[in-house]
Amino acid sequence: MGPRERGGRGERGFSLSETVALVMVVAIILVVAVPNLHEANGAAALLGAAGRLRGLMFRCRADAIMNQRATGLVFERQPDSSWRCYIAADGDGDGILRRDIDSLTDPVISEILEFAPETAGLGILRGEFVPDPSGRGRLRGDLSDPVRAGRGDIITFTPDGHATPCSVYLTDHRARMRVLRVYGGTGRVNSLVWRSGWSGWRRTAL
């Protein structure tokens, strides 16, 4: 038997039925993998957004204590429903006020974080029963407002370490949410995570 005869099936390649079966296996793998990839990307983007915002909160508190002045994390909703936030320092001793920010009396002392609409960032997941992190049933109030820091949307940190008590909600607009909760008496920040289908929020280190 010559070399060509011994090659047999290995040299003639795949049959049509084998090719179809291979294509079907690849399609099944893609169907399973692509949603998981989207979910992983969404979770990573949400974690990154929460991490940047939390870092800004820490900087704001540290500045207030080290420089012995009120310092505020200011949130602004834009006309296109996007959000931005930045740190402003009390320049005249009367607290962080928007009119003082506009007049540059309270200077902006940080970069500006931008959160585009429908991307991982500030927001509350719609069409879901989102539980209240305090454990009192459903999250209520204006679900278009993810910044629960009073009517001014400013988190003020004081020289003695106190802060405006607040909760700031973030979402990937798919299935996940995070909340950063600032405690008034200590100015400390607690991070919780929730996803669709969970009965409650879970504490996380990041």
Residue 4 has pLDDT above 60, yes or no: no
Q: What top-level class would CATH report for the domain 14-203?
A: alpha beta
Q: What is the pLDDT of residue 74?
A: 97
Residue 88 neighbours by CB distance under 10 Å? 25
The contacts of residue 165 (CB under 8 Å, 6+ apart) are: 182, 183, 184
Tell me the percentage of the chain whose pLDDT exceeds 70.
Answer: 85
> Mean pLDDT throughout 46-73?
96
Query: Is the pTM here over 0.75, yes or no?
Result: yes
- Please tell me the distance from the alpha carbon of residue 139 to that of residue 143, in angstroms, as a whole number: 8
Show the DSSP H helices in the chain as ranges: 3-7, 9-12, 16-67, 98-102
Nearest to 171 by CA among 180, 162, 161: 180
Q: Across the strands, what pairs with 115?
A: 83
What's residue 36's pLDDT?
60
The CA-to-CA distance between both ends of the chain, in Å, stands at: 68
Residue 33 scores a pLDDT above 60: no
- Contact assessment for residue 86 and residue 113, using Cβ atoms and an 8 Å cutoff: yes
Domain ranges (residues) in the chain: 14-203
Checking if the pLDDT of 31 tops 90, the result is: no
- The owner of tokens 């003695």 is 160
Q: 35 pLDDT exceeds 60? A: no
Confidence of residue 75 (pLDDT cuts 50, 70, 90): very high
- Alpha carbon 185 to its chain centroid, in Å, reads 25
Which residues, listed in sequence order, are joined to residue 80 by a DSSP beta bridge? none
- Among 11-25, 75-89, 180-194, name the one with the lowest average pLDDT: 11-25
Radius of gyration of the chain (CA): 25
- Please write the tens of the pLDDT for every residue from 125-162: 988 999 999 887 999 989 999 999 977 899 999 999 99
The full length of the chain comes to 206
Task: Give the mean pLDDT of the chain.
Answer: 87
Q: What is the C-alpha separation between 10 and 151, in angstroms, rounded?
A: 74
